[in-house]
Amino acid sequence: EQLFAKLRSHGLVKGVRGPGGGYRLARPAEEVSIAEIVGAINGTEWQHVPAMSDDDPEVQRERELLDGMWGMLSERLLDFLANQTLAEFVRMQSGAPSMMGHGVESEDRSAA
């Protein structure tokens, strides 16, 4: 329930009451990015390296280097996730042809 509360507060799902109720996507899956989902659930926690409490200058230099590298990695990961939709992820998981940014057209299986 806490997970859906986070998703609902970010406008990604809406509650449906009554028989057959539950939660539904607030927008079509093609319009929901994976980055939105990750952000709604985790906020920005995953983008930061845990703090190290050490006054050693060597450790501090290593920390700054690690922070910089983690920042670049986080930006690239966020860009990637922002360009992947929930619909693409579901297609990929179900074994259906995926477009995942490659411009791949699905085959007409009825002709087989």
Q: Does 29 have pLDDT greater than 90?
A: yes
pTM over cut 0.85: no
User: Could you please report the per-residue DSSP string of 12-64?
Assistant: SEEEE-STT-EEEESS-GGG-BHHHHHHHHHTTGGGSPPP-----HHHHHHHH
Is residue 24 predicted with pLDDT exceeding 90? yes
Q: Which CATH class is domain 2-98?
A: mainly alpha
**In the chain, where are the structural domains located?**
2-98
At 94 the pLDDT is 85
Nearest Cα neighbor of 90 from 32, 36, 13 is 32
In this predicted structure, the answer to whether residue 100 has a pLDDT above a threshold of 70 is: no
Average pLDDT, rounded, for the chain = 81
The structure tokens listed for 78 are 């966020």
| 3 vs 108: which has the higher pLDDT | 3
